[in-house]
Amino acid sequence: MPGAAEPLDELPLPPYVTAEDVGFAVRAIVVHAEESGRDGPVCRHDLFPYPCRLHRWGRAVLARRGLTDTEVAALVARHPGAES
């Protein structure tokens, strides 16, 4: 059940973030990256407006873990699926 402040269309966050959750979150960010679309930025995986639910979920998980934007960017850059 979503929390009172959590929109109904958002994916639930884990109650505490494990190392495995961090890995899933980084993968979600990499796979659901921004791509240029005809009507603006879209998710390159599912073509929904960017950022899609899974990209937002990944960012929220890493924020809950206490990672800064710089730390997230470094994790994403090291991921094998990240574009150079």
- Is 64 within 8 Å of 56 (Cβ atoms)? no
Helix, strand or coil for residue 8?
coil
Helix, strand or coil for residue 60?
helix
Phi-psi region of 49 (alpha: psi -120 to 50; beta: other; left: phi over 0): beta
pLDDT in tens, 2-29: 555 555 689 999 999 999 999 999 999 9
Mean pLDDT rounded to a whole number for the chain: 90
pLDDT of residue 77: 94
- Is 52 within 8 Å of 5 (Cβ atoms)? no
pLDDT of residue 4: 52
Written as one letter, the residue type at 13 is: L
What whole-number distance in Å separates Cα of residue 33 and Cα of residue 45?
7
pTM of the model: 0.85
pLDDT of residue 54: 97
Task: Evaluate if residue 84 carries a pLDDT over 70.
Answer: no
Ranges of each domain in the chain: 19-78
